[in-house]
């Protein structure tokens, strides 16, 4: 039974292990019933599946990026309005726009290009400054209350999702190393396949070997069809 388990993708390794275990539990092969290696394989796969389904990181990265984009847009729109309006000397209260734009300048005009943490720190200070009664009065004069509230809301939403991600990632880091769990599953699968190979000519083992060999061939063929760019992206250093 020729198959290099280390070359299988995360998904294909999980599928192979799952099919082999299901086949073992089908009751079709009395020779393998209650075999200790079967239980070892089940335990190893259960640990692998836990990490595999969570993809070792929280999976909240997309939500964080979306929330960050939304607060960037709210910030950029308000900043752009103030920058344009302050130049219209014929417009009412254009001086107020200039003063408010000055507050944006104070904390940097490129907050939307900073890292998550740096932007969050600066946005918090910017919002606190804009909530000063004098600044709020200018915001009201320019009818920007809704735009300001939108920026505050989007920023608060980002902070909440970012905190959820941080907590989830901290919990996941307490789990055993993902690469270590994969190696354990590979080792136990290899031992199981070696057992079947050694016993393939013994009465009662032929069918089990034949069926399992077909599963191994299917997994091997699936590996050849994998798109090398279709990998799981993680924020952490390890992958399953």
**Residues 108-122: pLDDT tens digits?**
999 998 888 889 999
pLDDT of residue 231: 32
- Whether the per-residue pLDDT at 197 is higher than 50: the answer is yes
C-alpha distance from residue 153 to each of 58, 68, 75, 127 (Å): 24, 12, 11, 11
For 206-232, the three-class secondary structure string (H helix, E strand, C coil) is HHHHHHHHHHHHHHHHHHHCCCCCCCC
Confidence of residue 175 (pLDDT cuts 50, 70, 90): low
Of 134, 125, 73, 90, which Cα lies nearest the Cα of 104?
A: 125
Of 41, 2, 5, 8, which Cα lies nearest the Cα of 22?
A: 41
Rounded Cα–Cα distance for residues 55 and 173 (Å): 12
Q: What would the pLDDT profile of 67-100 be if each residue is shown by its tens digit?
A: 999 999 999 999 999 999 999 999 999 999 999 9
Confidence of residue 237 (pLDDT cuts 50, 70, 90): very low
Confidence of residue 151 (pLDDT cuts 50, 70, 90): very high
Q: What would the pLDDT profile of 29-44 be if each residue is shown by its tens digit?
A: 999 988 999 999 999 9
Confidence of residue 226 (pLDDT cuts 50, 70, 90): very low
Model-wide pTM > 0.85: no
The domains of the chain, with CATH numbers, are: 5-56+176-224 (no CATH), 61-173 (1.20.1440)
Which of the pair, 92 or 223, is modelled with greater confidence? 92
Q: Taking a C-beta distance cutoff of 8 angstroms, is the pair 13, 201 a contact?
A: no
pLDDT of residue 171: 58
pLDDT of residue 164: 79
For residues 1-9, give the mean pLDDT. 85
Q: Which two tokens stand for residue 122?
A: 């600066």
């Amino acid at each position: 039974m020729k198959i290099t388990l280390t070359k299988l993708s995360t998904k294909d390794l999980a599928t192979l292990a799952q099919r082999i275990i299901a086949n073992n539990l089908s009751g079709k092969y009395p020779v393998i019933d209650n075999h200790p290696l079967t239980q070892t394989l089940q335990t190893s796969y259960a640990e692998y599946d836990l990490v595999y389904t969570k993809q070792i990181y929280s999976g909240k990265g997309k939500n964080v990026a979306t929330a960050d984009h939304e607060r960037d847009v709210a910030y950029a729109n308000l900043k752009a309005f103030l920058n344009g309006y302050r130049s219209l000397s014929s417009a009412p209260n254009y001086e107020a726009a200039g003063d408010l734009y000055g507050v944006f300048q104070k904390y940097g005009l490129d907050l939307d290009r900073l890292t998550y943490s740096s932007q969050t720190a600066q946005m918090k200070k910017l919002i606190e400054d804009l909530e000063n009664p004098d600044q709020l009065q200018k915001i009201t004069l320019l009818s920007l209350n809704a735009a300001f509230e939108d920026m505050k809301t989007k920023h608060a939403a980002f902070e909440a999702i970012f905190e959820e991600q941080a907590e989830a990632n901290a919990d996941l880091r307490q789990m055993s190393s993902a690469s270590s769990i994969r190696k354990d599953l590979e080792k136990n699968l290899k031992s199981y396949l070696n057992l079947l190979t050694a016993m393939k000519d013994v009465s009662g083992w032929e069918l089990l070997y034949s069926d399992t060999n077909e599963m191994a061939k299917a997994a091997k063929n699936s590996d050849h069809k994998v798109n090398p760019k279709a990998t799981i992206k993680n924020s952490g250093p390890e992958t399953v």
